[in-house]
A and B are shown apart, each in its own frame.
Chain A
Amino acid sequence: MSDIVQTNPVAAAVVPPSRFKRRVLRHKGLMIGSIIFAVIVLVALLAPFISPHDPYAQDLNNRLVPPVWYERGSWLNPFGTDNLGRDYLSRTLYGAQISLLIGISVMLISGTIGTALGLAAGYFGGRIDLVVTFIITTRLALPVVLVALAVVAMVGGTLFIVIAVLGLLKWDRFAVVMRSATQQVRSLDFVEAARASGASQLRIILREVLPNVMPHLIVVGTVEAASAILLEAALSFLGLGVQPPLPSWGLMISEAKNFMFFSFWLIAIPGAALALLVLSINMMGDGLRDVTAPDSRS
């Protein structure tokens, strides 16, 4: 309830495209975040071509080799090898795929659910709003980590299950923000005009309302993608995330924690990768919030 009443006083003013572009290019955080993110995406896409080794090929006689910048390291395995003698660089590169896949899929699933609910509630108001508000409040009352853990534990942790469970749980913020954004857009002139011209409700929502609340959607999307990636890591820590030998960064971190006090690099490499990914997504989100808000810091 409080959440819904209070979250995000949304500014509905729409920034003209030319000025928007300038703002984006001048926003340092946004640019840096986007570049890092783009690099990670590129790495994920190119992983099969740039990885020096098969990320699943193990060599038990060549375990825990330190990275090249250590005395015992070599260029054969630039990031060293893990506890099963697999090339750590290759696993890190492939790990980008899995972690991105988790972040983006969860964002898409939860974004679709949340946006649909939020748009409906904000646009139609009245009884529909009441029902949606009720659903959102109910969802907010469920502790995410606990429910996710319980369901994954019962059903079994696979990549698909983890994505599905997180996607079905994490739509609340989308719904909340979309609802209040839509409420403000709804009464604007062009929407009224469309309504007066006799356009269908669905058409108005998709053609007139949705594009105007898009910036908020993207901002929430970034936050949620980052949080999904971290949640997967937490599930992995409790042994209930993605299952090995899949190389997700979250799983690599939780497997490497056994070596944390002695071979810090094992946890530092996927940790740094994950931190970079989460930070870049957050920087993009914060940046987008800035450039789309009317009182922008430019």
Chain B
Amino acid sequence: MIFSSTRRVFGMILGVALAAGLAAPAEAQKRQNTIRFAYDQVPENVDPYFNNVRIGVIIAHQVWDTLIYRDPKTNEYKGQLATAWRWVDDKTLELDLRRGVKFHNGVEFSADDVVYTLNFVANPANRSTTQSNVNWIDRVEKIDAHKVRIITKRPFPAAIEYLAGPIVIHPAAYYEQAGPKGMNEKPVGSGPYRVVEHQIGRSITLQRNPDYFRDGPKPQPQIERIVIRFIPDRQTQVAEMLSGGLDFVMNIAPDQAQQMRAVPTLQIVSGGTMRIVFLNLATTERSPAPQLRDLRVRRAIAHSIDRQTMARQLVGEGSQVINAICFPTQFGCDASQAMVYDYNPAKARELLAEAGFPNGFELELHAYRERNQSEAMINYLRAIGIRATLRFGQYAAMREQIRAHRASMAHQTWGSFSINDVSASTPVYYKGLDDDISRDPKVIELLERGDSVTDPQQRIAAYREAHKIITEQAYSVPLYNLVTFYAAARDLEFKAYPDELPRFWEMRWK
């Protein structure tokens, strides 16, 4: 009885408080034309090349510009800092640069900035964090003040996609003098917002860039100020939203988002993302669970998990079951010949018994996020007799275990850096690289071909065949894509995109 009355009391308090004007703080923000946003992780460095957290990507696109822009609505490429581009040969991309663009420190943008930035980050000695974003660049040459050529190490058809994603341009002179460290303390870019204050580990304040160039693909920003605070505990973020201390948060847990819909001062928006989830199985000779080397065991695992129900119940609206290890809109993500496993625990038990494990066996599941989904998978496995222990930790720790061949199963998620091409997803896990724990030579060869031939039809064919083998061999269980839930003050106008990138330059107060 106690609990029901506490809830009633709390509900009452909440109702009264909201009615009595907790909306007031949000009103004030509206008048000051500010958005207060919070994120749970602190970027190790705001320089986009020196962090690998989502908030880093978000800040990157507010403060900096890329050469090319991908319209999130049509997936069409548009010129941003570049105005036109063409492949001179299959390893040389020539770009014409926009004139009249100014960096936040007043310096005019030119070819030197592109040349310096890309040559700097492509040099492995400078240790930019995500090497795969830049290691396809061999060198960059200046043709004239507004024309450059990027020479790739090998034919790399996905280059355009990378130039529209993680690759931003720094002002050469400033970057040369300040370096990544100075860029973190006092960031300078050319984007719609400039950083006016960076209290490292605590907050970053962005101010509208009044000199942002017109007729680019990003419109002129409307909101005057964006205050980004770092609040580690999601629950605290929700409390801030409920009490009117924040205007915008993302990555709310689905159940909580559902419950927050009832709060009149808030709006909850959800959007499916490009981040896919899959259960990866170690099948090489060094696998810590030799049982997984038996195809029947792997197929049993694939049959044991009810992906449909997990997607619907745990991930939420906007989540789709996937049948290959890639996001369906990615170029080359052709799952038409992939083998699909239905939820069938009886069959799973049969397969296990056939493989000689009628009473199941024990192994470990490594995971680093969406712990409730790991937990659900463990329970599904338990139902067919496989007893999995959860090893939950930071991504880096999990990766370390995988690479040391100490992880038999990994609950992986992959966002492809929002790159809409399969070269950014499937090969990461199946092309014989460090995170590949099945290492099938045939698959490696097919992915190699898909990544390097230029003819689109040949690329697709190669990838299709790779997906077929991966699923037939059940090297992993493809699950679904994740959904991001955003909570915002009711009067904030914004749109959610699959790339999990809030575009503050598009937002405005109603």
Contacts and interface: CB of A to CB of B under 8 A. Distances in A.
Does A touch B (CB under 8 Å) in the complex? yes
Interface of A: 56-58, 60-61, 63-64, 67, 69-70, 83-84, 86, 153, 156-158, 239, 243-245, 255, 257-265, 268-269
Given A83-B372, A261-B235, A265-B3, 10 more contacts: A56-B382, A58-B379, A61-B309, A70-B4, A84-B375, A244-B374, A245-B382, A258-B255, A258-B256, A264-B3
Contact of A244 (B239, B306, B313, B371): B371
B101 interface: no
B18 to A, nearest CB: 12
Contacts of A64: 255
Nearest to A86: B379
For chain B, what secondary structure do more than half of its interface residues adopt (helix, strand, loop), or is it mixed? helix
B107 to A, nearest CB: 44
A162 to B, nearest CB: 13
A70 B6 CA distance: 12
A60 B376 contact: yes
For chain A, what secondary structure do more than half of its interface residues adopt (helix, strand, loop), or is it mixed? loop
A67 B314 contact: no
Contact of B255 (A58, A83, A86, A157): A83
Contacts of B239: 261
B7 A156 contact: no
Nearest 6 A/B pairs, CB to CB: A262-B259, A60-B313, A58-B379, A265-B3, A243-B390, A244-B375
Given A157-B392, A258-B235, A258-B256, A57 B6 contact: no
A263 B10 CA distance: 10
A64 B371 CA distance: 17
B242 interface: yes
21 contacts: A57-B383, A60-B309, A64-B255, A70-B4, A84-B375, A158-B389, A239-B392, A243-B389, A243-B391, A244-B374, A244-B390, A245-B375, A245-B378, A245-B379, A258-B256, A260-B235, A261-B10, A261-B242, A263-B259, A264-B7, A268-B3
Contacts of A257: 235
A261 B238 contact: yes
Interface string B249-291: 0000101100110000000000000000000000000000000
Nearest to B312: A60
A274 B353 CA distance: 42
B153 to A, nearest CB: 38
A156 B313 contact: no
A259 B256 contact: yes
Contacts of A243: 389-392
B1 A268 contact: no
B54 interface: no
B382 A60 contact: no
B84 interface: no
Contacts of A262: 256, 259-260
B234 interface: yes
B375 A156 contact: no
A69 B255 contact: no
A162 B390 CA distance: 14
Nearest to A260: B235
A171 B221 CA distance: 60
A92 to B, nearest CB: 13
A63 B313 contact: yes
A67 B3 CA distance: 9
A259 B257 CA distance: 10
Interface in B367-393: 371-372, 374-376, 378-380, 382-383, 389-393
Interface string B277-320: 00000000000000000000000000000100110011000000
Contacts of B260: 262
A89 B372 CA distance: 19
A244 B378 CA distance: 9
Nearest to B239: A261
B409 to A, nearest CB: 14
A29 B380 CA distance: 45
Contacts of B375: 84, 244-245
A58 B374 CA distance: 13
Contacts of B255: 63-64, 83, 258-259
B309 to A, nearest CB: 5
Nearest to B234: A258
Interface string B1-22: 1111011001000000000000
A122 to B, nearest CB: 42
B362 to A, nearest CB: 13
Given A258-B253, A258-B256, A69 B1 contact: yes
Given A259-B256, A260-B235, A84 B379 contact: yes
A153 B396 CA distance: 12
Interface string B333-375: 0000000000000000000000000000000000000011011
Contacts of A259: 255-256, 259
A120 B411 CA distance: 50
A69 B393 CA distance: 37
A259 B255 CA distance: 8
